[in-house]
Every structure is written in structure tokens, then in C-alpha cells.
Amino acid sequence: MRALGQTFNRLRRDRQGVGAVEFAIIFPILLALYITAFELTIGFSVYKRATRAAGAIADLTSQPQTVNKAYLNTMKDVAAAIFVPYGTTGLKLKISGIQVDANKIAKISWSWDQDNQRPYPVNSVVKIPENLKQPNAFLVHAELTIPHTLLMFMSTLSSKITPITIGRDYYFAKREADPITCSDC
């Protein structure tokens, strides 16, 4: 019994492995924090690119006097170029021309989505931000959504985690007084 007590006292005073034990306890927490920070950085980058893509698409669509489905279909390529290197799998894009009448009521003039369909009926009333309700104004509204999946954190649970949908929309006023027409929307 005395030998056992001496061994226990010797182990209690020995401090050689304390750093390794502390590191073993703290390492999983530090690793989780690092991976979480990495995931957040990637998510914010995708969010920023979604904002940039929606703005660029609305800007490019507001420049010509007339558009058609072929022109609007090229906006998928614009989004893909902005999202490099992330890819655009699952990207959903809608572009609408909105006419605000003299009574400040906004109505859809034309609309298009990435499947060459009309997502909104013509002449349907839509809500727009109050500061954009100018009499007889024409707006281009670009809506972009893209799913973002976590890359590494808890990869064994990734099948149970649904992707985060990042969505941005952007309004852009027509550069000239006349409204933009879409010949085949």
C-alpha cells in the first residue's frame, strides 16, 4: 500500500506532460473555431458575389432600349462569371421590367426567369421600395438566389443539413426616359 501511495505522490508532482494534456483538451475547440471561421468567410464571399451579380444584371438589363429572351439568357453567363470559382449550380434568376404609373402604382411590364418562362403576370401590381416610386418611372428588378452548402464542418452530418439559400434582389432605374420593352417575354 505504501508503494502505491508513493507512486501516486510522484505522479501528482510530475508536470512534464501537462502541456500535452492541455493541448489535447483545447485542440478540438480550436479546430472547430478555425473551420467555422473558414465556412463563414466562404459564405460571406458567396453573399457578396450574389449582391454583385444581381446589381450587374440589373445594370446591364437597364441599358438597352429593347431586350429579348436571348439577351436575358446571357445574364446567366454574367452571373456565372461573377461567381467564379464557386459555381452556379442551383442558381435561380428572375428579371422583371416594372412600370410605375403617374399614381405611383408599380406594375409588371414583362418578366423572365432562367427557364425562359414568365414568373409574373403582365400588369400585375408589385411592391417596390418607397424611394423608387417616382411617377412614370421604369425599373429593372433582378432577383437572384443560390444555394450554399457547407464545405467541411461536420461533414458526417452534411446529409442532414439543408443548404443555405442566399438571395439578393436589385432594382435599377432605366437610364433613358422611355421604358424597356421585351419583344418575346
| β-pairing verdict for 92-100 and 138-148 | antiparallel
What's residue 158's pLDDT?
Answer: 52
**Average pLDDT over every residue of 20-42:** 88
Q: Would you mind telling me the total number of residues written for the chain in this entry? A: 185
Provide the terminal-to-terminal Cα distance of the chain, rounded to the nearest Å: 92
pLDDT of residue 129: 92
Average pLDDT value over all residues in the chain: 88
2-6, 8-12, 72-76, 156-160 — most confident range: 72-76
pLDDT tens-digit profile of 144-175? 999 988 766 555 555 556 678 999 999 998 87
pTM: 0.78
Q: Which residues pair with 146 in a beta bridge?
A: 166
Buried-state track 45-62, b at ≥16 Cβ within 10 A, e below 16: ebbebbbbbbbbbbebbb
Q: Where do runs of H (alpha helix) occur along the chain?
A: 2-13, 18-62, 69-73, 75-82
